[in-house]
A = this chain, B = another copy of it.
Amino acid sequence: MDKILRIDMGAKGGPKASEAELGDYAGMGGRGLTSAIVSREVPPLCHPLSADNKLVIAPGLLSGTIAANSGRISIGCKSPLTGGIKESNAGGQAAQVLARLGYAAIVLEGEPGDDNLYKVVINKDGVKIEADNSLKMLGNYDLIDKIKEAYGEKVACISIGPAGEMKLTAASIACTDMEQRPTRHAGRGGVGAVMGAKGVKVIVLDDAGMKMRPPKDPEKFKEANKVWVEGLRKHPVTGEGLPAYGTNVLTNVVNEAGALPTRNFRFGRFEGASKVSGETEAEIETARGGMATHGCHAGCVIRCSGVYHDKDGHYMTKQPEYETIWAHGAHCEIDDLDAIAMMDRLEDDYGLDTIEMGVTIGLAMEAGLAEFGDAEAAINLVKEVGKGTPLGRVLGSGAAVTGQVYGLEKVPVVKKQALPAYDPRAVQGIGVTYATSTMGADHTAGYAVTANVLQVGGNVDPLKPEGQIELSRNLQVATAVIDSLGMCLFIAFATLDQPETFQALVDMVNAFYGLSLNDEDVVDLGKSILTSEREFNKKAGFTAADDRLPEFFKKDSLPPHNVTFEVKDEELDSVFNW
């Protein structure tokens, strides 16, 4: 993992690959590397769909090793949705396989001068780039079926669906899971549109003949990983809640907390919550022969994923995540899990961010295009995107555009990115993260739900402004590091609560790379990543005015706690003062 593969899609005579040492980027991985390349090499004022933008795909520093849960892949660029820097990461097999192929990053550059759609195949023998227009407008599922036929059952794929080809700003990039299903998405910020603008449909990664990456100190590494695994297994969230019910374990918890945004952020509790909860979901999955517990990539010991079958017992989609369930569920007042699973399936197939899409469907309801609660109408709205109709293109452009096109006033976005599944009035810490994250509204960027609701890593009253800045700041710093290691964010629960688990993670990095980092070094790494991202955004025109929630969160109080967002603007502006 000491090379960067650059593919110039606009090279004379057709796309051309070249490899180089890491050079200035040595020691970087995942989000640290994608953000470094974007902030150093992409002109902040370029059009995100232009030749000047770059799509950087980087496994984490520990990906491709035996370290448990190190399978996240970071995808970075200038976002066509937010206009700022973007790193969106996904699970699945791609990170491990790409890392074992020896690449710290693939960088797609330039833009093809023709209308061809390209396929990139990388294996131990090198890189092949070929036009394959038979792939045009294929859904991710059909695409992967074709790839399987040609390249077998073991390759990992990174691909876009029709949404990415249409360059829609809610387009995601799909990564295949262990069963070669295109279900793990780098969802946020329209990264799929940038891949579409580069003319690349799919990157096929084949690590046959390649080995697990070797640590500098194999013994210490193995030992640290053992403590690491034990830590993840013994924490109640990663050892019990997540495996049993998946991320959707949160529906009942957040609903109970009065923080489940319902009917486009009007209420904090949803009547139909129990019908779409993780508990109900697991029951249905088990009853229909799906799976309630499943890992999205080899080496995962949390196994928060699952497999969702239809009523006839046939595979429909991976277990829809909490955010997906919320966006299509409470936000739209839909309490029908099968309908939500169908939308999840369609969105994975078209290649769309399920958060952005669910929020957008709720806005379409707000605009009168469908009734709140009408599941069939919601499914049909998603299908519009697949058909590429004008309405579909609007919806596929996300919440901010849909709000503008339909003249809506209540549009829950920050930096034009749709808010996720926690109302910032009832979880004020996550409100700070939504407002200030370099990424736009993003729960994963500093998941303050931990101390606000779950009582993990401390306990900060979710309804009050006190303590939220520090909480969000610390989590944003820590997350930047986690996203650089290739670690699944869920490891945070155990590392926040169990000092020895955190230490095991540091030990793994040190043993793998022959380093002697301490806590402070880790914090510094996180800060430096955030600083480079903030610098890019500043040059792209972002100011403190962009670090704000929509005004209605300050004005309209949220039942049942009847709270508004109380963190002051000046406090928000202090998040990155260190």
Contacts and interface: CB of A to CB of B under 8 A. Distances in A.
Interface of A: 43-47, 49-50, 52, 80, 166-169, 193, 196-197, 389-391, 393-394, 397, 401, 404-409, 411, 538-546, 548, 550-552
Contacts of A548: 45
Contacts of A390: 389-391, 394, 405
Contact of A405 (B43, B393, B543): B393
Contacts of A169: 404
B404 A50 contact: no
Nearest to A408: B49
Contacts of A168: 405, 407
A552 B50 CA distance: 10
Given A193-B407, A390-B394, 10 more contacts: A43-B551, A45-B545, A47-B550, A47-B551, A167-B407, A197-B407, A393-B394, A393-B405, A541-B546, A543-B543
19 contacts: A45-B545, A45-B548, A47-B550, A47-B552, A49-B407, A50-B409, A50-B552, A166-B407, A167-B407, A168-B405, A196-B407, A389-B390, A390-B405, A393-B394, A397-B405, A401-B404, A401-B405, A405-B405, A541-B545
Q: Is the interface of A mostly helix, strand, loop or mixed?
A: loop
Contacts of A45: 545, 548, 551
Contacts of A193: 407
A44 B540 CA distance: 20
A413 B73 CA distance: 35
A59 to B, nearest CB: 28
A45 to B, nearest CB: 6
Nearest to A83: B545
A46 B409 CA distance: 10
A407 B551 CA distance: 29
Nearest to A52: B551
A300 to B, nearest CB: 35
Nearest to A544: B541
A391 B391 CA distance: 7
Contact of A397 (B393, B404, B545, B552): B404
Give me the 9 closest cross-chain CB pairs, A-B, nearest first: A167-B407, A541-B545, A390-B391, A390-B390, A49-B409, A393-B405, A541-B543, A397-B405, A47-B409
Contacts of A545: 44-45, 539-541
A189 to B, nearest CB: 13
Contacts of A166: 407
A360 to B, nearest CB: 12
Contacts of A411: 47
Contact of A551 (B46, B80, B538, B542): B46
A364 to B, nearest CB: 10
Nearest to A49: B409
